[in-house]
Amino acid sequence: MTIRTRHACFAALLFMSSMAGATTRSWSLRLEAGTSQYSRDTFASYAGIHYTELSLDDGHALAIAAEYRPTTLLGVELSLGSVELDARWREVEIRPISFNPPVLQEVTVDSDSGDFVLRPITLGLLVHPLRGERIDFYVGPQLGRTSFHIDLHGPPSRDPEWTLGGKAGVEVRIAESPWSAGLAYRYLETQHDGQEHDQYTGLSIHLLSVVLSYGKAPRGD
């Protein structure tokens, strides 16, 4: 074995021992607050002379999550969230206002505005590639179920639907306390089986949040 090889092996052993001695948390509680990025208009038409329009725009999001880490590399996270989108709905009829020449005009016969709320419950598998004491980075897929609360009259109710997504975040430990702060990004895609005259479609939402977390280190660290 050459001197260079011995030095490389020695450095690798030092690195591995330092990683083994790093403090990691066996569980974490997270509070996330941020904004949702989404904008879409959907239409449902009836016989070509009557339609409804639902417009959804950016809103805000809140979530609370609990993660258990059986190993320093992997964690399982349960998340309960609420995503509120600004919603506007209107019902439109196409009526003739002149017959010679024939002229048609759109007339709004009903409208309302309010919140379109998604309440996802997801289970995620998070990978923590960094094992230092100060900075924690995590990324992984999520699977769950989303229920809906529609705070405006007009649109029909929407049944709970399956949700796929992913999450990535970075947190920095605050001094020597068990608290950390950081940023998290989530992508949620709600699946939807459309029907005839359906007002709804699938939802693909991007969330960017500020994170405050509290965690406990494994015993013996």
pLDDT digits (tens, 9 = 90+) for 40-86: 877 777 766 778 888 888 889 999 999 999 998 999 999 999 999 99
Buried b (16+ CB within 10 A) or exposed e, 170-198: bbebeeeeeebebebebbbebeeeeeeee
| Token output for 76 | 């399982």
Which pLDDT belongs to residue 8? 46
**Total domain count, the chain:** 1
Contact 120, 145 (CB under 8 A): yes
pLDDT value of position 198 = 55
Domain that holds residue 156: 23-40+62-88+114-216
Percentage of residues of the chain with pLDDT beyond 90: 45
Residue-wise pLDDT tens digits, 202-218: 788 999 999 999 987 54
Q: Is residue 176, in this structure, part of any structural domain at all?
A: yes
**How far is the C-alpha of 201 from the C-alpha of 37, rounded, in Å?**
16
Check residue 218 and give its pLDDT.
45
Asked whether residue 103 is domain-assigned, the answer is no
Mean pLDDT of 197-206: 75
For the segment 101-152, what is each residue's pLDDT rounded down to a tens digit? 888 777 878 888 889 999 999 999 999 998 777 899 999 999 999 999 988 8
Under 8 Å between Cβ of 132 and 120:
no
Closest CA to 54 of 201, 205, 162: 201
> Is position 9 within any domain?
no
Name the nearest CA neighbour of 79 among 152, 157, 174, 186: 186
pTM for the full model? 0.75
**The domain spanning residue 130 has which CATH number?**
2.40.160.20
